[in-house]
Amino acid sequence: MSTYKCPKGHESTEPDYCSECGAKINGIPKLASSPNLLNSTLPQTDQSVITCPDCTAPHEPDSGDFCEICGYNFVTGAHGEVPPVPLTPTPAAEATPAGEGESSFTPEVHPATLAPPQISTKAAVTPSLKLELVITIDPSLRTPDSPPAPPHQAPIAFRLEKETNLIGRSSTLQGIQPEIALDLDDAVSRRHALLLRQPDGTFILRDIGSSNGTKLNGIELQPMVDTPIKDSDEITLGHWTRIVVKAIQPLGESEG
């Protein structure tokens, strides 16, 4: 088994972060003293952490083809954020009256790029929504390869307060601390998906090249494609994790 020299002198069994102290290393195996090994070809360093050329964020090659922060494509070299999928506005005559069907707090998406120039800035401002996620373990989502779901796991409620919210699993060694930590489900990637607040106050969901994918209302999301979320939407991922979106109220309105 290859070992790797970390900057602090430890011999690590991991190529990206030291298995002893967690320090970042370059993934170059420590050479043995045997002369026969000096002329051998070194193993490739594809599994070492690389740096995104656009935003300098660290990236693990086995976590997908896209930078989890800015969307840079390491395969094609495409730059920048992937634009959100545009929604077709619902005609006013077909709008569902408040109190029927979906919650009256369901956000209406009005991308700023579609707003006519003559509309004033004041008229284009939409109050930000308060969204709450209810995270549950649903054994019915298991596949034949899934381990048993944790028993007696109570639902966890999480309110979205930040502009950027990472969904994933925590790693102290790699310095990954997701806002929405799903540590019970090892089929969730370390950096799995993002929930991002948009300029109009609504939120979008973006799978950031996760290993096992993300579904919204039963439909598999394409990596790095932004999809708006609304009240009562359901996000499923990992072995048996279900996340239900709940709209609390627009910011600025009093509770109660």
Q: Does 176 map to a domain?
A: yes
Q: Does 64 map to a domain?
A: no
For the chain, percent of residues with pLDDT exceeding 90: 43
pLDDT 10s digits, 122-161: 334 456 778 999 999 999 999 999 999 998 899 999 999 9
Where helices occur in the chain by DSSP H, the ranges are 35-38, 121-124
Mean pLDDT of all residues in 164-187:
93
Give the list of residues 6+ apart from residue 24 with CB closer than 8 angstroms, or none: 7, 16, 17, 18, 49, 58
User: At 240, which CATH number?
Assistant: 2.60.200.20
The winner for highest mean pLDDT among 49-53, 89-93, 228-232 is 228-232
Q: Does 225 map to a domain?
A: yes
Name residue 243's beta-bridge partners: 135, 235
Q: Does 46 map to a domain?
A: no
Q: Look at phi and psi of residue 11 and say left if phi exceeds 0, alpha if psi is from -120 to 50, else beta.
A: beta
Q: Does 119 map to a domain?
A: no
- The Cα 88–Cα 86 span in angstroms is 7
The angle at the Cα of 168, spanning 166 to 173, to the nearest 5 degrees, equals 105
User: Which contacts qualify for 109-115: CB closer than 8 Å, 24 or more apart?
Assistant: 109/198, 109/200, 109/202, 109/228, 110/200, 111/84, 111/86, 111/198, 111/200, 112/199, 112/200, 114/86
Higher-confidence position of 253 and 123: 253
pLDDT 10s digits, 86-102: 444 444 444 444 444 44
Q: Does 57 map to a domain?
A: no
Q: Does 241 map to a domain?
A: yes
Residue 67 tokens read as: 């930078």
State the residue range of the domain holding 172.
Answer: 124-250
pLDDT score recorded for residue 157: 95
Q: Does 2 map to a domain?
A: no
Domains in the chain: how many in total?
A: 1
Secondary structure element (H or E) that encloses residue 11, with its range: strand 11-12
Checking if the pLDDT of 110 tops 50, the result is no
Contact 216, 234 (CB under 8 A): yes
